[in-house]
Structure 1
Amino acid sequence: MEKEIISAAQAARLIRQGDTLIIGGSGGIGVAEKVLEALESRFLSDREPGNLTILHTTGIGAVTKYGLNRLAHVGLIKRVIGGNFGLQLPFMKELIVSNRIEAYNFPQGVMCQLYRAMAGKQPGLISHVGLGTYIDPRIDGGKMNDATTENLVEVLEVGGREMLFFHAPVANMALIRGTTADDNGNISLEHEPATLEGLSIAQAVHNAGGTVICQVKRITGRGKLNPHMVRIPGFLIDKLVIDENQPQNYAVNFDPSLCGESRRPIESIEPDPLNERRIIARRAALELYPGAVVNMGVGVSAGIPNVTAEEKLDGIFS
Structure 2
Amino acid sequence: MSDWHLSRTFDSPQGAIRWDSFGSGPPIVLLHGTPNWSFIWRGVVEHLSPQHHVHVFDWPGFGRSDRFDGQNISWDEQARRLPELFAHWNLTAPTVVAFDFAPIFALRAHFFEGLDVGAFVFADAAVIPPFITDFSRLARENQGTMRRLPTHIAEGMIAAHLAQTTHRPMPPEVFEAYMSPWRGEEGVAAYWRAVARYDEDMAAPLVARLDRLTVPVRLLWGSDDAWFPPEKARELAAALPEAELRFIPEAGHFSPEDNPRAFAEELLAFERELGRTAEQHG
* TM-score, length-scaled by structure 2: 0.27
* TM-score, length-scaled by structure 1: 0.25
Q: Tell me which protein shows more helix as a share of its residues.
A: 2
Q: Tell me which protein shows more strand as a share of its residues.
A: 1
